[in-house]
């Protein structure tokens, strides 16, 4: 299902990253960078993540001289069980809250919900935010890092940071032009260390449906960016689109997971992941380049593996989802 918007704009974004992301090639695009460790003076990794997402939302409000009562909805989600980073952030904001979860595709989902609320005239300003934290995810989804378990090169590295996006019905230079809400896809893959393979079909389906619904050719977009497929998943998606739909993603396609880090020199294996990986790349780097006129029409496709450790222990395969967000620069 694709919804087109006439009155939804991005007013501003605020991006915070951790030290690994600060060491990567896009560091200069982020608003705040933590360089020391992954605790940010908090006593646990989970609290450290709450710190980041709270700070992103506080800072975007302050930067835009907005008060909590100026915001109609706060829509947020993250990878912690019970989306706890978002919940514990939200208790410090006196704003109606909507909690969302689609794994690393949550950022696409919350932009979709927020944009739809604005387009319908039910909200004027909506704050959407997401976060992830490398150590929280390692502890929760994988083997605790203290075990030192080696990983295959298809594994990805959960990014640390938080991103807040201020959506508004007041015209700005960047428009949310449309959103295609994805469907849950399961190709029967069970390898928890190959999320790129799991998520590529989800991305492929939503890109295909987006182009079909909008009657657009792939060449319509200056840039198509998937969320966090990584270097192997990116190639799988190229093959999938060509084989199934005869669509060549071409030179304008890239994956945020391969862009956030220096893949040759940082210990991130197949690339970055987590809802904040694509969010940092898109709402730090791409957003600022769109404002400068480098890209005019960009299709963002955050990808999510709906991975539950409980179901994986029970030998279930891992479903995935992706959402497609069309951003347009009006300069």
Q: Which residues contribute to the site for its own copies (CB under 8 A)? A: 1, 3, 43-44, 46-47, 72-73, 77, 80-84, 87-88, 90-91, 93-103, 109, 112-113, 116-117, 119-123, 140, 180-186, 306-311, 314, 316, 319, 321
Q: Are 229 and 194 in contact (CB under 8 A)?
A: no
CB of 70 to its own copies, least distance (A): 12
- CB closer to its own copies out of 133 and 234: 133
Residue 15 to residue 227: CA distance in whole angstroms:
16
> Tokens 């605020």, residue?
14
Nearer to its own copies, 166 or 290 (CB): 166
To its own copies, the closest distance from the beta carbon of 240 in angstroms equals 17
Least Cβ distance, residue 158 to its own copies (angstroms) = 14
- HSE toward the beta carbon, residue 89, CA cutoff 13 A: 35
Nearer to its own copies, 100 or 268 (CB): 100
Q: Which is nearer to its own copies, 183 or 216 (CB)?
A: 183
CB of 315 to its own copies, least distance (A): 10
Closer to its own copies at the Cβ: 181 or 283? 181
CA 253 to chain CA mean position, Å: 16
CB nearer to its own copies: pick between 97 and 245: 97
Helix (H) or strand (E) holding 240, with range, is helix 230-245
- Give the C-alpha separation, 74 to 82, whole Å: 17
Contact residues for 161 (Cβ-Cβ < 8 A; gap 6+): 15, 16, 17, 18, 21, 30, 52, 131, 132, 276, 279, 280
Termini Cα distance of the chain: 28
Q: How far apart are CA 57 and CA 154, in angstroms?
A: 33
How many CB atoms lie under 10 A from the CB of residue 42?
14
State the minimum distance, in angstroms, from the CB of residue 72 to its own copies. 5
Q: Which is nearer to its own copies, 21 or 46 (CB)?
A: 46
Question: Minimal distance in Å, beta carbon 210 to its own copies?
Answer: 11
Q: Taking the complex as a whole, how short is the minimal distance between the CB of residue 93 and its own copies, in angstroms?
A: 8
**C-beta atoms surrounding 178 within 10 Å:** 22
Give the span between the Cα atoms of 304 and 199, in whole angstroms.
6
Token pair of 231 as six digits: 């270097």
């Amino acid at each position: 299902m694709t919804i087109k918007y006439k009155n939804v704009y991005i007013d501003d974004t605020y991006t915070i990253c951790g030290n690994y992301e600060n060491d990567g090639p896009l560091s200069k695009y982020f608003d705040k960078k933590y360089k020391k460790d992954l605790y940010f003076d908090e006593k646990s990794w989970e609290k450290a993540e709450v710190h980041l997402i709270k700070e992103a939302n506080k800072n975007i409000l302050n930067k835009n001289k907005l008060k909590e009562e100026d915001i109609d909805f706060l829509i947020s989600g993250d990878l912690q069980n019970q989306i706890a980073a978002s919940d514990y952030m939200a208790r410090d904001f006196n704003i109606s809250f909507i909690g969302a979860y689609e794994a690393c595709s949550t950022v696409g989902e919350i932009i979709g919900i927020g944009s739809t609320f604005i387009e319908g005239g039910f909200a004027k300003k909506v704050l959407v935010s997401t976060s992830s934290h490398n150590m929280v995810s390692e502890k929760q989804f994988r083997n605790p890092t203290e075990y030192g378990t080696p990983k295959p090169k298809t594994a990805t590295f959960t990014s640390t940071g938080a991103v807040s996006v201020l959506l508004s019905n007041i015209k700005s230079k960047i428009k949310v032009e449309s959103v295609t809400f994805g469907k849950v896809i399961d190709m029967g893959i069970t390898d928890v260390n190959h999320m790129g393979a799991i998520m590529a079909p989800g991305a492929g389906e939503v890109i295909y449906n987006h182009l079909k619904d909008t009657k657009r050719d792939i060449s319509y977009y200056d840039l198509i960016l998937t969320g966090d497929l990584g270097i192997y998943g990116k190639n799988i998606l190229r093959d999938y689109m060509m084989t199934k739909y005869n669509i060549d993603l071409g030179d304008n396609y890239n994956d945020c997971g391969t862009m956030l880090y220096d893949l040759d020199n940082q210990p991130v294996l197949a690339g970055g992941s987590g809802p904040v990986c694509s969010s940092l790349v898109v709402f730090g780097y791409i957003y600022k380049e769109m404002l400068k006129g480098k890209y005019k029409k960009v299709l963002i496709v955050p990808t999510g593996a709906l991975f539950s450790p409980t179901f994986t222990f029970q030998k279930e395969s891992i479903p995935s989802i992706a959402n497609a967000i069309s951003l347009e620069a009006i300069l």
